[in-house]
Structure 1
Amino acid sequence: MTINLRPGSTVMFTGDSITDCGRAATEHGLGSGYPLRIAGEWGLRHPERAVTWLNSAVPGDKVRDLEARWQADVLDARPDVVSVLVGINDVGWHTIAPEGHVVPVEDFAAGYDRLLAPLAAAGTELILVEPFLLPICATVEAGDALVDAGIRKQWRADLDPKIQVVRELARTYGAHLLAADGMFAELCATAGPEHWSEDGVHPTPPAHAALAAAWLRLVA
């Protein structure tokens, strides 16, 4: 089953920097990433079915940060569809920043569940996008630190159980799952991972296009 976007529907994108993509600096408030591509493609395909597109993502957010602003930024907007992409910032960044907070998978699961419960109770359609990590081999900068492939392997070990949480929550709430981690693993077999992300976390324009195309396959 796909989501039926009726005329007048409101869609809320939320999450971290991958979704934010500089939204505050854009007149439409959608940023320059996959939410903008989705809105543009939808408008091209269905000019007779106008949809209100909103983006409340904030760079660096973890699940607990979303929870702190959930009422004002998401619930109060009364969206018909909520699309969530969060989780990469919940990974153990302590591997490069000792003061970083490690989010246990149990806390991640409980917090994410609290985000979804009121939406499900209100009958809101849910799209959960898996957090993802691409296997970049080169050493790249992350903040003030240099991150190599070995550190990213530690991130992967922390991220995988959290991806599983997202999958389980999608089943629990009957949400639509966008299996982004698996999608990018397949795409990396057709073009190198650097084509899709320079640092393994933030998508390049082709990767945003891939996310948008996969998202649009979930709606009708």
Structure 2
Amino acid sequence: MRFTREDRLLFVGDSVTDCGRDREDPASLGDGYVRLVADSLPPSVTVLNKGINGHRVRDLEARWTDDVLAHGPTAVTVLIGINDTWRRYDQGLPSPVPDFEATLGRLLADAGEKCGARLFVMVPFLLPADPGQEAWFEDLGPRTEAVLRAADAHGATPVRTDLALRRAAREHGAAALAPDGVHPSPLGHRVLAETWLTAAGATG
């Protein structure tokens, strides 16, 4: 798909999307995959970053109207879920997978119905940095399946960043892609950007 000056691409999610953006500057894209995507598209295409560090799907729902719908995007990309898993293990805060899936589904339906936006859902990922993180897959595995079901149910394009990072880790090592297992390095962000561009048909 070729994006044009008529398009407004909005990326929303947690710290992986946020990546140090200046929240006082609406044009700030941060230093991660969103900037790399924008740099790969024609400069006339509007790209917005609405990631916020630490957010779970319930936080995303609370700000959906103001941070997503109000901007009238023609394409919405969501990356959410790793904090829903992480908070279970470091703070004992549950995010039941059925509730997570229902909430994500509502958000996707909302963007499709109210904005007519093309939808992309990036799959949350984990490249364990220590043995303790291996246990997270008990929660993240079912959550990944929930993300894919929600995407399918609402006509969203799944972006398999989880698989792309695992492939890259076999070549470069997990620590080179996400030193703490969650937050990508510059190389990790490049993999995310390339995976999104391929899924969106915006390469070549």
What TM-score does the superposition give when structure 1 sets the normalisation length?
0.85
Aligned residue in 2 for 1:158: 139
Aligned residue in 2 for 1:62: 56
| Alignment check: 8 A CA contact 1:25 1:31 kept | no
The DSSP-based 3-state class of the residue aligned with 1:23 is: coil
Aligned residue in 1 for 2:71: 77
Aligned residue in 2 for 1:114: 106
**Structure 1 residue identity aligned to 2:76:** V
| Alignment check: 8 A CA contact 2:12 2:76 kept | yes
| Structure 1 outlier segments of 4+, above 4 Å | none
Could you say what the CA RMSD is over the residues aligned between the two structures, in angstroms?
1.6
What TM-score does the superposition give when structure 2 sets the normalisation length?
0.92
Aligned residue in 1 for 2:128: 135
Q: Does 1:16 align with 2:14?
A: yes
Q: Does 1:38 align with 2:30?
A: no
User: Computing the radius of gyration over CA atoms, which structure comes out larger, 1 or 2?
Assistant: 1
1:119, 1:78 → 2: CA distance? 9
Determine which structure has the larger helix proportion and give its number: 2
Residues 192-203 of structure 1: matches in 2 within 5 Å? 192-203=173-184
Matching residue within 3, 6, 16 for 1:5: 3
Range 103-112 or range 119-128, more displaced: 119-128
1:170, 1:95 → 2: CA distance? 26
What residue ranges of structure 1 are gaps of 5+ in the alignment?
138-148
**Structure 1 residue identity aligned to 2:58:** R
Q: Give deviations 1:82-132, integer Å, cap 9, x for gaps.
A: 0110000000534333xx311000110111111111112242101100000
Deviation at 1:191, TM superposition (A): 1.4
Deviation at 1:219, TM superposition (A): 3.3
**Structure 2 residue identity aligned to 1:132:** F
**Structure 2 residue identity aligned to 1:57:** G
Range 19-28 or range 200-209, more displaced: 19-28
2:63, 2:108 → 1: CA distance? 14
Change (3 A) 1:92 1:210: closer
What residue ranges of structure 2 are gaps of 5+ in the alignment?
none
Deviation at 1:33, TM superposition (A): 0.3
Deviation at 1:6, TM superposition (A): 2.6
**Structure 1 residue identity aligned to 2:195:** A
